[in-house]
Amino acid sequence: MPSFQDLMLPLLIHSADGVVHSWRRLRDECAEDFGLTDNQLGDRIPSGGTRFDSRINFALAHLVQAGLLSRPKRGYLRITPRGREVIDRDLHRVDINLLREFEEYREFQAKLQARTPPPPPRW
């Protein structure tokens, strides 16, 4: 099962044509890329959704926050000019380290960290 970061580059590549894609179509194309079985695709997490859908949505959310994809309407995505630039770099991987290049993504991470309470002190 690919991690959400493993899914980032394939999601961008499948969006590269510049048209609006449903997240479900992108999910199905990535599942095919990774050769996932029906059992893997049906693997449920405690919240009730599937593990793969959760990872796809997590990857998409990070790509949107970094400005590589946009959401023209609910459930649909389109690559942005920045996303095209990243694809044009001919990278072997897109992950959080790469997304940190972009100010919007660093701001997103800072907001997440500000909302997360610090761990209790270890006495």
Evaluate whether residue 122 is within a structural domain. Answer: no
Specify the pLDDT at position 123. 65
Specify the pLDDT at position 117. 67
Specify the pLDDT at position 68. 97
Evaluate whether residue 121 is within a structural domain. Answer: no
Evaluate whether residue 47 is within a structural domain. Answer: yes
Specify the pLDDT at position 64. 96
DSSP code of residue 44: B
* Whole-structure pTM value: 0.87
Specify the pLDDT at position 109. 87
Domain count, the chain: 1
Evaluate whether residue 120 is within a structural domain. Answer: no
Specify the pLDDT at position 112. 80
The answer to whether 55 and 49 have CB atoms below 8 angstroms apart is no
Name residues of the chain where pLDDT drops below 50. Answer: none
**Helices within the chain (DSSP H only):** 4-15, 23-34, 38-42, 51-65, 81-88, 96-99, 103-115
User: Tens of pLDDT along 62-83?
Assistant: 999 999 999 999 999 999 999 9
